[in-house]
Amino acid sequence: MIKGKAAILTSTKDAASMLTRSILIENFGFKESDRLLDGNPVFLKNDILLVTLDVPLIHAEGVDEKLDVSLIVAVSRHVSERGIKALLTHPVGNWGSDASQGGRAFKVSRTSCAALTASLMTLYEASLSGWSVGLEVTHHGPYSMRPLIFVEFGGSENELSNPDAAEAVAAAAMAAIERPKLLEPAVGFGGGHYAPLFTRLALSGEYSFGHMIPKYAFPINKDMLAQAFEMTVEKPEVAVIDWKGLSAADRQALQSALETLEKRVVKRK
């Protein structure tokens, strides 16, 4: 097991990830060490590890058992079917039985509200013209008991070689590790995959979101509901519901379940 403050995870199977790795080495001062992880050299800066795997990051199962760190930030590609250029950050896990995109069925990875918010704000501050910035809801793998987030850039295949976007993702990964003052931690419920309401609330300084459960994952069972709170290191006591982003039946069932968990419900539109 390799010990450090935090780890930035990259993959040789991902061109955008490797471009971000190059920028971290060239522009952020990471230096090669004598340590290896799965045969690849580990780079270091101020006790932050920069590690490279030879598998897609969503399938990096067991990486949390190889790294003794307080946070793992996976820097990755994002592909949009509509070709929309985007800078994104999100927590990891599967709300249902489908684990085809890595991770485990009905399991979410540990995450950090502060890390997600810091990365989101840094992506926003990059101010890249023509690029959208936002949170994505919790999805895909790998499963990790150490706090894990993904920070991504992309759109069409052409955007995966954009050095400005890779620079923004590199800066966001570093900001996530530094984790400035935390806003009120919360779990988000409802809405679509790209979480526009939760993005707006985070950028306006109202809440720091950890796990987010979209409309398409409902109905949600009580075990998964509990995981959303328990697998967030800041242990949120607030549940923010995208009121227009859930059906009336799902809202009613959710509020009843949240009452049993003694969570404070905030309704937003």
- Residues 83-97 have pLDDT tens digits of 899 999 999 999 999
Range with lowest mean pLDDT among 2-6, 30-34, 179-183, 205-209: 179-183
pLDDT score for 172? 98
Q: How far apart are CA 238 and CA 36, in angstroms?
A: 41
Distance of CA 39 to the CA centre of its chain: 26
The pLDDT value given to residue 51:
98
CB contact at 8 A, 234 and 113: yes
- Rounded mean pLDDT, 208-234: 96
The residue assigned the tokens 């955008």 is 16
The dihedral formed by the CA atoms of 65, 57, 93 and 186, expressed in degrees to the nearest 10: 90
Mean of pLDDT values over 147-168: 94
pLDDT digits (tens, 9 = 90+) for 226-237: 999 999 999 999
For residue 29, pLDDT over 80 is answered with yes
pLDDT at 179 over 80: no
Task: State the pairing for strand pair 148-155/72-79.
Answer: parallel
Q: How many CB atoms lie within 10 A of CB 221?
A: 12
Give the model's pLDDT for residue 80.
80
**39 burial class (0-12, 13-18, 19+ CB within 10 angstroms)?**
exposed
What domains can be seen in the chain, in order of their start residue? Answer: 2-268 (3.40.630.50)
pLDDT above 70 coverage of the chain, percent: 100
